Amino acid sequence: MLIVNFHEHPGYYAEENCRIYGIHKAVLLPVGNEMVGKAIEMAEKEPDKYIPFDWFDKDRPIEEELERIKNNINRHGIKGIKFQPMDQHIFPDDKRLYSLYELCQENGLVVTWHAGIVKLGFKYENGVPMLARYCDPLGFDQVAFDFPKLKICIAHLGGNYIYTALVLAEKHENIYLDTAFLTFFAPRFFPPVTVEDMIAHAVSVAGADKILYGCEGVTPEHVINSKISDTDKEKILGLNAVKLLGLQK
């Protein structure tokens, strides 16, 4: 069964997760400007294994950012843009992002957006406080209307905003969800749920075609052990990502 990890970060753990979990391909999501080069470097070294995404620096003039991203599309084959909104302090429907969304829509890039309130081993990232109020994906309702061909991935099934994320994916043809870090969110619900239950519930609401396997603690076994059909498991573990990214199997 083809396994594509749609939510990985460049570095040592990407290699380890591929080896340990039998992952065939991994999308590399840089967090911060300095990790873009690492994602591109790993993808160019092993192009059959890694798919590089870019990062949006909201502190640069937008014209410069668009030119930089265009260059990375043409020279390095990036397939999407990663957002970490609690660092970037920006909401999905901020009009400052619209020219970037237009570029992504025109070039078939995926916008992957962190969603969900998290407590990590640190409270600051990229030199700024990680602010929870930016983690709600609701703004993508407007974005999906304004950019109906833009490929949008809400990470972590929305985290604690799972209801919002599921309904948005159910409502809009161009909104997808990944399963990364559900091992963090599942035990914090009340009552606690399992990762397998969250995946099965997502399939029952949004449909298996909208769910992408992401790691960060979630293993392929979590998908395999979910109470969904074998066909749905194959879609989630790899086929959906291949289709969304236009990859060769």
Alpha-carbon distance values, 222 to 34, 74, 114, 187 (Å): 32, 36, 21, 14
Closest among 139, 188, 179 to 160, alpha carbons compared = 188
Report pLDDT digits (tens) over 152-170.
999 999 999 999 999 999 9
- DSSP run (H or E) holding 82: strand 80-83
- Bridge partners (DSSP) listed for residue 212: 178
In the chain, % of residues over pLDDT 70:
100
Q: How many domains does the chain have?
A: 1
Locate 73 and state its tokens. Answer: 């599309």
| Mean pLDDT calculated for residue range 114-131 | 96
Burial of 233 (0-12, 13-18, 19+ CB in 10 A): buried
HSE-CB of 5 using CA atoms within 13 angstroms:
32
We report the CATH number of the domain holding residue 31 as 3.20.20.140
Distance of CA 118 to the CA centre of its chain: 15
Q: What is the pLDDT of residues 126-139, one digit of tens each?
A: 999 999 999 999 99
| Rounded-to-integer distance, Cα 155 and Cα 136, Å | 11
pLDDT in tens, 195-235: 999 999 999 999 999 999 999 999 999 999 999 999 999 99
Structural domain boundaries, residue 198: 4-245
What is the rounded average pLDDT for all residues in the chain?
97
